[in-house]
Amino acid sequence: MEAMAYGCPSTSAFISIHNMASWMIDRFGSDEVKHKYLPAMIAMEKIGSYCLTEPSSGSDAAALKTKAVLDGDHYVVSGSKAFISGGGENEVYVTMVRTGEDGPKGITCLVIDKDMPGVSFGAQEKKLGWHSQPTAQVNFDEVRVPAANRVGGEGEGFRIAMMGLDGGRLNIGACSLGGAQRCLDEAVAYTKERKQFGQAIADFQATQFTLADMETELQAARYLLYVAAAKVTANAPDKTRFAAMAKRLATDTGSSVVDRALQLHGGYGYLMDYPIERFWRDLRVHSILEGTNQVMRVIVSRDMLRQ
């Protein structure tokens, strides 16, 4: 994900969301649902979206209202999901729905196909960045979804969603690292070539100190993210705390590094002739999605105070 983001954070993030949706089916789905979806998803013949956020529930994801009522061997699903990457284009929607009581224990995970009757999409959102991928509202109007498409048991959806987000947060952090590394490399090359006051701007100590800080902060964020990834892989008890810390640091640092890279380019950094402005726009949303960075602080502090 980090390497792909060196070229385009938006495309890398789009693939990371597909990766998360596929992982959730693989990790928690029955053999039937895995055989039904994973061969085409692994080959990316079909691309998956992750549907949790709703128009009225963002950070408070457990308040979601999209409802699924069991009717024989099908769930009847009604509701809407907002800001869905791949909305309207992707074929598979791993969706969190309410099958029971209010709160996290009443949430279940279903896999819904684009072509199921009753599935529709809003207009494509006009975004600051992430222009390489579609984003739209997904609407469900009494969609009949086979009960066999359930991932995990009834009431397990929120736990599955949160476990998926541990990996999703690492991937979004990695996208920030890759994008920021590209902009740092661009800044080094540009400051060595650009001359002012008779010398390359890389020869000024102010430039050198800025580049040194960018490198130091980016490397620190990278290694925290790698430690967090190892903990998630090992299913360590503190994996969620480290994933949240790494996501918060990597996305904030990525945006900060790109902002300074743009500044070092001066007016040219603001032009679309240079790649910096695209990275600046693309990385801004990373501190919002997969849980805002304010929510990351809540996760970390709650885990600390639970000790």
By annotation, the residues acting in catalysis are 290
- Collapsing DSSP states into helix, strand and coil, what is residue 264? helix
- Collapsing DSSP states into helix, strand and coil, what is residue 72? coil
DSSP string, 123-184: PPP--SS-TTS-EEEEEEEEEEEEGGGEESSTT-HHHHHHHHHHHHHHHHHHHHHHHHHHHH
Distant-in-sequence, close-in-space partners of 246: CB < 8 Å, separation ≥ 6:
169, 170, 173, 221, 224, 225, 227, 228, 229
User: Taking a C-beta distance cutoff of 8 angstroms, is the pair 90, 49 a contact?
Assistant: yes
Q: Which of 64, 55, 144, 54 is nearest to 100 (CA)?
A: 64
Distant-in-sequence, close-in-space partners of 107: CB < 8 Å, separation ≥ 6:
62, 64, 96, 97, 98, 99, 100, 155, 157, 158, 161
Q: Which of 145, 149, 144, 118 is nearest to 38 (CA)?
A: 149
Q: What does the block give as tokens for 102?
A: 């209010």
Cα–Cα dist 203/159, whole Å = 53
Cα–Cα dist 213/265, whole Å = 16
